Chains A and B, each alone.
Chain A
């Protein structure tokens, strides 16, 4: 009896659709969780950013109005509906931090691209190194290269991201250790503000750039080559820090997958067909070794998103993580809940992508 072939594009579409529908309860759950967290905070703190000390309305009145606006004058389930309604309109609350917009959503929109840029760069670099390296090492278990990579993986797994960031600042950062010939890379920010002429060009809006909000790309778009290279320099250390941990993680699973796959019977079959050794590794072993790697990709990305917060903090890289840590200092509850929600959405989306990739790499998955 022959069952229908596995990768049927129609079926895949339904699979993705079903997975997206399954996201809805998760996202609702996430919003409920966030709402519970908000409820746990004293109301006085919640309404603080909604109060304008410069207008001639008494504090009490302003507070009453804000509570009414936020729906907190109703019982919690109703208040949750108010919250949900605001979420649907993209309103994550207000904040008051010097140098940042008043609206949490606006601040996040400014910062999000930088975070995504860091994670994507780190992912690309890690995957591009880990897969060929893992293939090489996994095909030669217990060789010198393998031992070296085990040490690397172990430290990469165990090293605290923020400490690594500090170390890199010391070792490669400009102006840390005096006379260090390797100290050439900038250690904070996403570009050097002194490169921006005064008044700033029109595409610098509130210190953020147009249209992508990413200095690297926008400077290219607007033809500012020195700024482009400067921004590129600024991204090296953060990406390097993030890459270390992620690379170690992928490498570890890739190696284990390779070793496991090379002991399987189908590898003997491939050899018995006369497949050259190189192809056996590339085609028969690696394809199978990718499967366990893909399954843990979601977990690794979760770790990466945690790491990005620390890395942005250490390098003062103006992404969501940096924004969050700034919020801690001045107790911006709406901001922190907002960024948490957005980080959660990013992770949920990533897991969706991972699931789809998994279904594509392993034909045995039924969907």
Chain B
């Protein structure tokens, strides 16, 4: 019976995180990860997206549209009056048709990926840094510091993310830079909570207790024992959040924070352009950018779930 029971374990059982050495066999993890085909496909797609973004920085001319000014300067190619439908007759730039300002969707889309990925990565990385440091310290030192930090994060969690982002951005002033700052401000508590939990459970680990008993200092302990373990959990959350942040960023741009930069190639902005022609039944300016966004978030989720399966010590068998 011992073999087949309690495989998943009751949800409520407190999960203890095993301390694993830093020289953890990375290859093995990667092999496990690749075994999960869906996760691997997701991983590849995400890589492609990042490659596009990077390529856009290095060789912008390969990918057509580069900046705000050029977007507005397109000459209608396909039809008069309204954006032209997808066609291959004018080269592959027009494969997805035209959007507002008669810009070809495909190259603008690629440029938009650069914008969105850059901003999102910047947001998540900053959030991770702030959150992880605060959370780890909080879990490790506990007491008043911990209490205060948790109450502060409580407040952040008591408002829906999007609404909070709207409020903070409005207060900071309506611009995309402020959207980025606002998203950082509201995103760090997630990581603070996460890392606090992990570092708490590691702190109660016999191993760290022993290290403390043998006289190594608290801060050293944090870096030697807690951080490496926290990082794998954070990494999973990071990869999953990238999808949410891209969406959130696009959504904020979509609902009206694009006023400062109405011509910026960005997915939310492109959707705003598309809505102009919604009632005319012109679907491609709406459908195409959304599909690019959807593929990215699906891929991110697949990858993140796969990563969690191999990195989460609770699930790893």
Contacts and interface: CB of A to CB of B under 8 A. Distances in A.
Interface string A163-176: 10011011000011
Given A310-B255, A340-B164, A340-B166, A158 B158 contact: no
A328 B170 contact: yes
A26 interface: yes
A30 interface: yes
B275 interface: yes
Interface residues of A toward B: which range? Answer: 35 or more
A328 B174 contact: yes
A160 B297 CA distance: 9
DSSP majority for the A interface? helix
Interface residues of B toward A: which range? Answer: 35 or more
B271 A29 contact: no
A161 B294 CA distance: 11
A267 to B, nearest CB: 10
A264 B6 contact: yes
A324 B167 CA distance: 9
B160 A333 contact: no
A344 B301 contact: no
A55 interface: no
A160 B160 contact: no
Interface in B272-302: 274-275, 278-279, 281, 283, 286-287, 290, 293-294, 297-298, 300-302
Contacts of B239: none
Contacts, number: 160
Interface of A: 25-26, 29-30, 32-34, 37-38, 40-41, 154-155, 157-163, 166-167, 169-170, 175-178, 180, 257, 259-260, 263-265, 291-292, 295, 302-303, 305-307, 309-310, 313, 324-325, 327-329, 331, 333, 336-337, 339-340, 343-344, 347-348, 351, 362, 364
Given A176-B278, A263-B7, 19 more contacts: A25-B151, A26-B154, A26-B155, A37-B168, A37-B171, A158-B301, A160-B290, A160-B293, A162-B251, A162-B254, A170-B278, A170-B286, A177-B283, A265-B1, A302-B160, A309-B162, A310-B254, A310-B255, A351-B158
Interface of B: 1, 4-8, 10-12, 151-152, 154-155, 157-164, 166-168, 170-172, 174, 243, 247, 250-251, 254-257, 259, 271, 274-275, 278-279, 281, 283, 286-287, 290, 293-294, 297-298, 300-302
Closest 10 A/B residue pairs (Cβ): A306-B162, A158-B297, A163-B290, A305-B160, A177-B281, A344-B159, A340-B167, A260-B8, A29-B155, A328-B256
